Amino acid sequence: MQLPIFYFTVEGTSSSVFESQVYAYISALRAQGVPAKLIIGQRYKARVSIKKLYRLSREDNTQFMLLPQQLDFEKEAKRLLNRLPEKRKVILHCRNIEAAYIGWLVHKENPNIKVLYDVRGYVEDEMRFFGDPTGEEKYKKLNKQLFNAPIYFNFVSHKLREVYEEKYQVKFKNYTICVSAYNDQVFKLNHNSIDYKIQHKPKVVFVGGSQPYQRIESLVELLEKQDEVDFTVVTHKKISIPNAKNTRFLYGLTPKQVSQVLDQMNYGILYRSSEAFNEVATPTKIAEYWGKGLKVIAINSAGAYTPIIQENPFLGYVFKDEEAYLKEHLSKPDFEEKQKISSYAKSEYSLSANYMKYMLLYNAILTSK
């Protein structure tokens, strides 16, 4: 069966996850012979790469919808409806809440459009954390409607599903669980990455955004207390931490360049607070670390991966606080350990693994009445 899939996102190409989550997934589908159509909602005033826009605009199955900063959901739903088949049953795979709400309005106009709401995180709690009560209330209203709508869902973790079931007093039936997976075509073990006969300090890396909840400054301060490790920070944008003396900072790298940096590392680290939206997340960086065979060091929390690490110690450590971390002596994992970690990641948390889970849900949607 030729799967008629339209993937819709309103986060645009400047989103930090566009390459690693959106385009990597679409590319994985297309590589398997699924001609998935990508509809990118691009905000007018967003900072974008003209080169990237030009490249994407030349693809037969990729199109853009220019969007204002403040969305008129009814208006955008009408515009999207005109881009979709009228009489054929198709899947509209909507990434995140605003895209899903537009999709739901489209479905109400044309029931042939079957909506999959890809629930990427606990957005109401993120708005609360960032001091945006207006955004928090808006997302509450949208999710209250979406979670009671006859549509399909994906959640990045069972924890996230459970949080929403309790919060909105619903019981989801038509859903799957696909984590924020890593691109296993890029983040894979390099058999020639490190010569383990060479004596060097364990190498620790942080890869991610520069949002406050990433706690990069705290990480730098913590790891600079240790003479026995080398620390590298890789971010999307350039950051400045005046007191950093021994930390290496890299920014603006492509996914392939990040992968090359990880070739030389032993551990990947993150430091998350115990906010509810962190606890239900499946950080892509953790999956990428594992894909490269790195052990994970999580200070305070690894989100929904915390129990996974605790049940599988070969994957790394979750330390309750900085003091507990400083007491741990880090030894370099050998190549057999890296192979075990990388193989586990590919089978559980890769785009290849997600592809199969999504395909099962797609088929269930298309064969449903």
pLDDT value of residue 152: 97
> For the segment 292-307, what is each residue's pLDDT rounded down to a tens digit?
999 999 999 999 999 9
Number of H helices, E strands in the chain: 15, 13
Q: Is 131 left (phi over 0), alpha (psi -120 to 50) or beta?
A: left
User: Sorting pLDDT into bands at 50, 70 and 90, what band is 128?
Assistant: very high
Contact in structure between 317 and 341 (CB atoms under 8 Å): no
Mean pLDDT of 184-207: 80
DSSP letter (8 states) at residue 183: -
* Res. 39: pLDDT tops 70: yes
Same fold yes or no, 5-180+350-367 and 203-349: yes
Contact in structure between 14 and 46 (CB atoms under 8 Å): yes
pLDDT value of residue 1: 47
pLDDT value of residue 221: 93
Whole-number average pLDDT of the chain: 92
User: Sorting pLDDT into bands at 50, 70 and 90, what band is 193?
Assistant: low
C-alpha 99, offset from chain centre: 16
The verdict on domain 5-180+350-367 having CATH code 3.40.50.2000 is: yes
Mean pLDDT of 204-227: 90
Query: Which range (16-20, 69-73, 174-178, 337-341) has the least confidence?
Result: 16-20
Q: Determine what percent of the chain is predicted with pLDDT higher than 70.
A: 98
Query: Which range (74-83, 135-144, 244-253, 308-317) has the least confidence?
Result: 244-253
pLDDT value of residue 362: 94
Q: Tokens 């989801």 appear where?
A: 172
Looking at domain 203-349, its CATH class is alpha beta
Query: Which range (67-81, 158-172, 195-209, 353-367) has the least confidence?
Result: 195-209
* Res. 107: pLDDT tops 70: yes
The pTM of the full predicted model, rounded to 2 decimals, is 0.91
Task: Show the beta-strand stretches assigned E in the chain.
Answer: 5-9, 37-43, 62-67, 90-95, 113-119, 152-155, 175-177, 203-208, 230-235, 248-251, 267-271, 295-299, 316-319
The ranges assigned to domains in the chain are 5-180+350-367, 203-349
Question: Which residues, at least 6 apart from 241, have a Cβ–Cβ distance to it below 8 Å?
Answer: 216, 217, 220, 247, 249
- Is 236 or 73 the better-scoring residue by pLDDT? 73
pLDDT value of residue 337: 94
Task: Show the beta-strand stretches assigned E in 82-147.
Answer: 90-95, 113-119
> For the segment 275-333, what is each residue's pLDDT rounded down to a tens digit?
999 999 999 999 999 999 999 999 999 999 999 999 999 999 999 999 999 998 888 88
pLDDT value of residue 38: 97
Distance CA 351, CA 180 (A): 9
> For the segment 258-276, what is each residue's pLDDT rounded down to a tens digit?
999 999 999 999 998 889 9
User: Sorting pLDDT into bands at 50, 70 and 90, what band is 242?
Assistant: confident
